[in-house]
């Protein structure tokens, strides 16, 4: 047990170091974006004094190193700062720029909840479908079903997300009107209404992530089919399906868990295009809107959340692989 805890602690420490390095990259990249928020909000005819005044009020007149450590210290405490756009709106309204309206965390929280809901619906569809297809493809290896499944999944993963989204909109929303073409969710919806609104973007993401999981499941199971204990199970007269499900699949869990976790990370960090196409009010849509208006604190916060989610799910996959594999739990 002590060795497992030590390995987990090492992985967590490595994850924190990685997140720190990524935070530096995020801050540098975001601050290299062309354009200036103060100039953008005041227009080209603004005087240098007015522009400098807004930059001073927003803290943009300070050096990048000072601003980075101020942002990092706030992020560690859960304070992601104030939105430039919302602060500007509040100032014109005559209210305090530090109010809840300008809180980056206040803007991100409901959007992140929506993105997690979309990722959850997608995972509930994609994971069972991918594992089932992978098991069946391994069972009927080199058959017509196996080849057709590989062609379909590879075609879907090779197609751009927006292309798949528009194809689904055409057939399921325009021609047949089964699902709404826009995923306009709000807090007043029931759970079933929300699922229905989210189903079309979830199906788009399912087509994108299913191929990875299906092919890894298939490859892992086929790898194990030549093992002695599988041969023994066959000699006992067990059916091919029982051999795969009862004996091969449990021992193939480590690589399958790893690829599932990586695809779940993609569902959180790679939803930007899908959310924009369907008008879904998630963190990806907020990220795109904030880049357009150079709202630096919101862009930085979105990037940091994406990075943290990706690193956390990668660490989870790593730890689950260790726990599911005795040779990794007890290294020599």
Q: Tell me: the pLDDT tens digits for 262-288?
A: 888 888 877 888 888 898 888 888 888
Torsion on CA atoms 204, 205, 206, 212, rounded to nearest 10 = 130
The answer to whether position 320 is within a domain reads: no
The answer to whether position 9 is within a domain reads: yes
What pLDDT digit, counting tens, does each position of 44-57 carry? 666 777 777 777 77
Q: Is there a contact between 171 and 203 (Cβ–Cβ < 8 Å)?
A: no
Q: Answer whether residue 87 shows pLDDT above 70.
A: no
Separation of alpha carbons 259 and 217, rounded Å: 9
The answer to whether position 310 is within a domain reads: no
DSSP annotation of 47 reads: -
Specify whether 65 is located in the same domain as 134.
no
**pLDDT tier at 21, thresholds 50, 70, 90:** very high
Domain around 32: 2-102
Specify whether 283 is located in the same domain as 242.
yes
Specify whether 140 is located in the same domain as 246.
yes
The answer to whether position 309 is within a domain reads: no
The answer to whether position 315 is within a domain reads: no
36 closest CA partner among 16, 18, 14, 54: 54
Separation of alpha carbons 268 and 111, rounded Å: 12
Higher per-residue confidence, 204 vs 87: 204
The stretch 102-111 carries a mean pLDDT of 84
> What's residue 70's pLDDT?
85
> What's residue 293's pLDDT?
78
Task: Locate 3 and state its tokens.
Answer: 């060795």
The stretch 199-217 carries a mean pLDDT of 88
Q: Answer whether residue 25 shows pLDDT above 80.
A: yes
Task: Locate 126 and state its tokens.
Answer: 């994609």
- What predicted TM-score, i.e. pTM, was given to this entire model? 0.80
CATH code, domain carrying 185 = 1.10.3720.10
Report which listed range, 25-29, 58-62, 229-233, 255-259, is most confident.
25-29
Specify whether 85 is located in the same domain as 196.
no
Specify whether 148 is located in the same domain as 286.
yes
Separation of alpha carbons 324 and 318, rounded Å: 10
> What's residue 2's pLDDT?
64
The answer to whether position 239 is within a domain reads: yes
Specify whether 202 is located in the same domain as 260.
yes
**pLDDT tier at 76, thresholds 50, 70, 90:** confident
What pLDDT digit, counting tens, does each position of 151-204 carry? 888 888 888 888 888 999 999 888 888 888 888 888 888 888 899 999 999 999
Q: Total structural domains in the chain?
A: 2
Specify whether 78 is located in the same domain as 177.
no
Q: How many residues would you count in the chain?
A: 332
The answer to whether position 317 is within a domain reads: no
């Amino acid at each position: 047990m002590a060795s497992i805890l030590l390995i987990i602690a090492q992985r967590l420490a490595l994850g924190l170091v990685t997140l720190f390095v990524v935070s530096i990259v995020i801050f540098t990249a975001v601050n290299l974006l062309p354009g200036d928020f103060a100039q953008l909000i005041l227009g080209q005819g603004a005087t240098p004094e007015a522009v400098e005044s807004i930059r001073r009020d927003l803290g943009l007149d300070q050096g990048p190193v000072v601003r980075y450590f101020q942002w990092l210290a706030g992020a560690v405490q859960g304070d992601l700062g104030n939105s430039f756009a919302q602060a500007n709106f509040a100032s014109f309204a005559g209210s305090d720029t530090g109010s809840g309206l300008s809180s980056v965390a206040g803007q991100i929280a409901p959007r992140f909840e929506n993105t997690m809901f979309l990722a959850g619906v997608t995972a509930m569809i994609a994971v069972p479908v991918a594992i089932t297809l992978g098991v069946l493809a391994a069972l009927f290896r080199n058959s017509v079903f196996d080849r057709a499944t590989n062609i379909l999944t590879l075609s879907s993963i090779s197609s751009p997300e927006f292309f798949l989204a528009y194809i689904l909109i055409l057939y399921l929303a325009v021609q047949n009107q089964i699902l709404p073409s826009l995923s306009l969710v709000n807090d007043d919806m029931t759970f079933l209404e929300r699922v229905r609104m989210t189903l079309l973007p979830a199906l788009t993401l399912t087509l994108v992530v299913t191929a990875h999981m299906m092919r890894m499941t298939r490859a892992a199971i086929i790898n194990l089919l030549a093992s002695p204990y599988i041969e023994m199970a066959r000699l006992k007269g067990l059916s091919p399906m029982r051999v795969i499900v009862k004996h091969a699949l449990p021992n193939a869990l480590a690589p399958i868990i790893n690829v599932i976790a990586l695809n779940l990370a993609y569902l959180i960090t790679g939803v930007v295009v899908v959310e924009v196409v369907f008008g879904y009010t998630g963190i990806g849509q907020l990220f795109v809107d904030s880049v357009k208006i150079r709202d630096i604190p919101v862009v930085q916060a979105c990037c940091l959340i994406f990075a943290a989610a990706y690193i956390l799910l990668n660490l989870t996959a790593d730890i689950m692989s260790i726990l599911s594999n005795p040779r990794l739990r007890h290294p020599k």
